[in-house]
Amino acid sequence: MKTKILLFLILWKFSSAVLCESFTLKIINLPFPPYQRNVTKLFNIGKNVYGIIPECSYHHGRIITFDDNGVRQVNNLPSDVLVVESVIFNPELTWTWDKSYKKIVVLDPQGVLSIYDNNGHRKEIQTIAGTRPFEKSSYQVSRTFAMGRDNCIYTAGKDGYIFKLNPETMEVKKLNVRLPSVKGREAWASLDAATVTDDGTIYFGTFDGYIASFNPESNVMKNLGKPFRQQRIQALVYFNNIIFGIGGEPDGLPRWFIYDTIAGTFEIGGTLKNTENKLIYEPVNSMIYLENNKIYGSFSGRLGSLFVIQYER
């Protein structure tokens, strides 16, 4: 009995320590010209961070790069990176480069998966997304791809099934594993955000607001639950054994959370405020982690700015 009490006290102490180890966030806006606002995608090539800003036509746009010294517009990405303007500046498309940056994988609003080769030629692969009940022409399309450590690209299709694409062979496999959803919501199970850990585990954020871990080697999906009592996971980034996420419906308020990949616990952070203590109303388009405990992100909307989140534990 004494041992049990002692064990209970140790566990209680340990769990309290985990719970109390909270984060503080400092969100710093990076002022930059209005025509460079609303960065829809952030990515890094090597140590350089780039952002994509579509213009109205969706066939044109601007590319920016930024660091601690500020934001600059650049004319081009490095020459060995494939650029298809009608793809990268079109916010309606879900897209990513392959590992070599010489191919672009695209999922269009009709749920068709295609690939652009290094000459910019498009090859349609197959339709992977499905429609929702009673909305026969409206496809539930995943908004992100995850690049696995195996260099394969993962996303979700009809009824939340995971698809694995090998960009080298252009082979697509529908895996016998699905995103979490409650019964009857399978048609809405699509990917909003994803991030990959050092050990190759992929963390998914779903349209319905679930977080799930996926092991590409064993094809095991684990439902970690919903950090918020609402839909949508806007962005996820992994660093230092934690998943930092921002979620919430686009017309609601963005809220942050942290999933500790070792302890397996969520920490719910609440709404986001900028350095002027003003509530941030607009959803996050994109986030990226590079190094030095800094997360770079972009808020959406007319005044949507780039931001840096500095966190302290």
- In sequence order, the β-bridge partners of residue 173 are 164
Q: Which is nearer to other proteins, 248 or 269 (CB)?
A: 248
Q: Does 23 bind other proteins (CB under 8 A)?
A: no
Q: Does 230 bind other proteins (CB under 8 A)?
A: yes
Q: Which is nearer to other proteins, 28 or 220 (CB)?
A: 28
Query: Quick count: other Cβ atoms within 10 Å of Cβ 11?
Result: 10
What is the rounded CA–CA span in Å between residue 63 and residue 280?
A: 25
Q: Does 58 bind other proteins (CB under 8 A)?
A: no
- Which stretch in 89-97, 155-163, 206-214, 300-308 sits in contact with other proteins by CB under 8 A? 300-308
Nearest to 45 by CA among 77, 91, 90, 87: 77
Q: Which of 281, 290, 294, 308 is the binder for other proteins (CB under 8 A)?
A: 281
Question: Contact 133/187 with Cβ under 8 angstroms?
Answer: yes
Q: Which is nearer to other proteins, 106 or 284 (CB)?
A: 284
Number of residues that make up the chain: 313
Rounded to a whole number of angstroms, the minimum distance from the CB of residue 60 to other proteins is: 17
- Which stretch in 149-157, 192-200, 201-209, 251-259 sits in contact with other proteins by CB under 8 A? 251-259
Q: Does 282 bind other proteins (CB under 8 A)?
A: yes
Cα separation values, 312 from 21, 65, 257, 304, Å: 10, 26, 14, 24
Nearest to 270 by CA among 22, 29, 15, 17: 22
Helix (H, G, I), strand (E, B) or coil at 35: helix
Q: Does 25 bind other proteins (CB under 8 A)?
A: no
Rounded to a whole number of angstroms, the minimum distance from the CB of residue 268 to other proteins is: 12
Rounded to a whole number of angstroms, the minimum distance from the CB of residue 231 to other proteins is: 9
What is the rounded CA–CA span in Å between residue 284 and residue 39?
A: 10
Rounded to a whole number of angstroms, the minimum distance from the CB of residue 33 to other proteins is: 6
What is the rounded CA–CA span in Å between residue 182 and residue 210?
A: 10
Q: Does 61 bind other proteins (CB under 8 A)?
A: no
- Which stretch in 47-55, 107-115, 198-206, 274-282 sits in contact with other proteins by CB under 8 A? 274-282
Site for other proteins in 79-138 (CB under 8 A): none
Report the sign of the C-alpha dihedral through residues 222, 228, 230, 232, in that order.
Answer: negative
Residues that bind other proteins (CB under 8 A): 31-34, 230, 248-249, 251-253, 279, 281-282, 301-303, 305
